[in-house]
Structure 1
Amino acid sequence: MSETRVDGTDVRTAHQDLHSEQGALRGEHPGRSRNPVIKVADLAWLEFEKPDLDRAEVFARDFGFGVAARTEGELWLRGTFAGSPCMVIRKGRTSRFIGPAFRAAERADLDRLARATGTAVRESDVPGGGRVVDLLDPSGFPVRVVHCGEQLPALPEQQPLLLNVGTNHRRVNATQRPPREPSRIQRLGHVVLETRVFTRALDWYLDTLGMIVSDFLFLDGQRERGPTMAFIRCDLGSVPADHHTLAMHLGPGTGYVHSAYQVTDLDSIAAGGEYLKERGYKRSWGIGRHIQGSQLFDYWRDPDRFMLEHFADGDLFTRDVEPGWAPMSTSGLAQWGPPATRDFLGASPSPQRVRDVIEALRGDNEMDPARLFGLLKAANS
């Protein structure tokens, strides 16, 4: 449904000018819930298990994280911004993603959420304390909603370089030498998940956590069947929020795709990438600039094959901006940069991927042959 701003402009027209050539057609998914249980304020952190915390810490420092806390069984990682840690890695038998934790805007939101979902509020194990509600989303991911106690203090920033642009000469009698060092992480930006039950999972995040959609993607020739990917942000009202805090797409598997961490600027991304390359890490895709979200990006694999992204200069939207709609395609992933790699797209065949496809086509979910072929077509378009 279209809305009108106080200045008389139509929000649907405004969103087309801002970020998408297409808006919703009549009857399509509105991209937000009429009466959500709560409205989360942001991602708090992501949870992983890994068998080797020493190796995980080496990569974390090389990638640009700071260490907030370390015990024999847990590694808490942070950025330079004040707030909560942005990742916890617990010692486990295998390397696996557990799930995301979202930050509640107010302590009372946890009570409201617990009553609505039949769960309980308990003490959190985050450094500094706090309270948490544990949920399970329709895909099977454990989802925590937390209200943290003590906040981590800010750390020194990696300063952006002064740039000479056109006739605006900010740097005179000084050379430009970005240091070859890790791209210092500022904060956790977003996580991307794959699911076989896309519509159910999407509605759950909108209805339960009050998130709203920035952009929908659909399969070419199958728009009438609904979207197959959504870039979802927090609803902070008139306060600008990241274009996406969570992104989800339909696929034959259920799992983590990547997570993204903000750094200072393009030089931080590039110099940090050289630092990682010199230490033998594998770049998955980059450097480039995305279309949905507009951020500069650079994707890397850690020693356990998890994909992590350095990003900078992403879009920020208020609640006024309605969802854009666009077809899924590999060419539509970036405005500029090298072609998306098979590694980034997850297009390299593997026994696990074959098992995922067979299981998905046999199961009670949203995958069927038409959707599968549509996804394959999008990956090659």
Structure 2
Amino acid sequence: MLNIKTTKLFWASCLALLVTSLSFGIRAGMMNQLGIDFQLNASQLGTITATAFWGFPLAIVIGGFVVDLIGMKRLLVMAFIFHLAGIVLTIFAQGYWTLFLSTLLIGIANGTVEAACNPLVAALYPENKTTRLNHFHLWFPGGIVIGTLLVTFFVHLGIGWKLQVAMMLIPTLIYGYLFSKLEFPVTERVSSGYSNKDMYKAVLSPLFIFMFICMFGTAITELFTGQWIGLLLKNVTDNAILLLTLTTGIMVIGRGFAEPVVQRLAPQGVLLLSAIFAAAGLYMLSTFTGNAVFFAAVIFGIGVCYFWPTMIGFVAENIPKSGALGLNLMGGAGMFAVSIYTIFMGSFYDNLIVKHLPSAGTASEQALAEAKKLAGPEILQATLVIPIALILAFGGLVVYMRSKKRTAVLDS
């Protein structure tokens, strides 16, 4: 395939991922207004938000099973149709059920994009998978930054949420057009001649199962903390939402300069260092106060920025027989783990607030604020167990990969 075709396919993939992240950023910024316009309560808004997380793992796992059969191009045409339908249905929503369906369609589209684009990037750059996957995935935090800034700007101008959502049509139509015109390679597993039996054997191998389980932890550490940081620390600092902007910005920069880091440390070394920084950052976020919290956010951002793409890159490089199914099972595992953990920790957070309220009488607003101030950092401290466990797991992975490399050298 000509280099210009490779470049066009890569940038079209980035645009598709940009739509995915814009949907998160823009929807997060307009949920309060949706509640007012359609008279929805917090439970209904929470259910609408959650549908995006249900649609994503469903689509990415199913896509992993069928992408070798139908090809990446057909899968991305389906993603385009789902995105287009979901965006248009959101713009013309009439109430709870149309918002529910539109969010589900966008969630399915988001999962379908990753189901096709992760193996596409791996196939386009077989000698540089982890670095290119980091470059591709920088558009997820990048799109969230763009989306939140866009919402803030439009709200300042008094422009409604419908036009905000409509802005997503621009990159959607561009990526749909590009993918319809471009020629796609086959997936790497197909081009390498690995059979379905080889693929299923690879995803049942001890190394893949180990990485699959670790994906639960890396995804929760990154996405749960990122999504909840404003809520958990809003009573600790007056600029809690800026913490998310700061960590997301660090992720964009880190993934953009991934190449020297990956080359110097190898994927397993990057994962170990990431777990160390993530644990340190999470501990700092749960204990620091005032402006020091922003330093903690930088450390945490450095920690989580490489997690998602490097996990997928490690599998692509070291378990190539797992193919597109292996990459997409990893992504599905991560998003599924976040959705389950969020439900569990939401209940835990409510219980902690109750525990910190005065035992007698009706709690005042001041007492409730103080209870939330104490409960937020406790949630982060409970989550800290996960990156600490990952330090041990990835430390073992580094030792294992070194011994494997040493054995290969001796055998040769």
Check whether TM > 0.5. no
**TM-score normalized by the length of structure 2:** 0.27
Tell me the TM-score normalized by structure 1.
0.28
- Structure (1/2) with the larger helix percentage: 2
Greater length-normalized contact order (CA 8 Å, ≥ 6 residues apart): 2
The structure where strand makes up a greater share of residues is 1
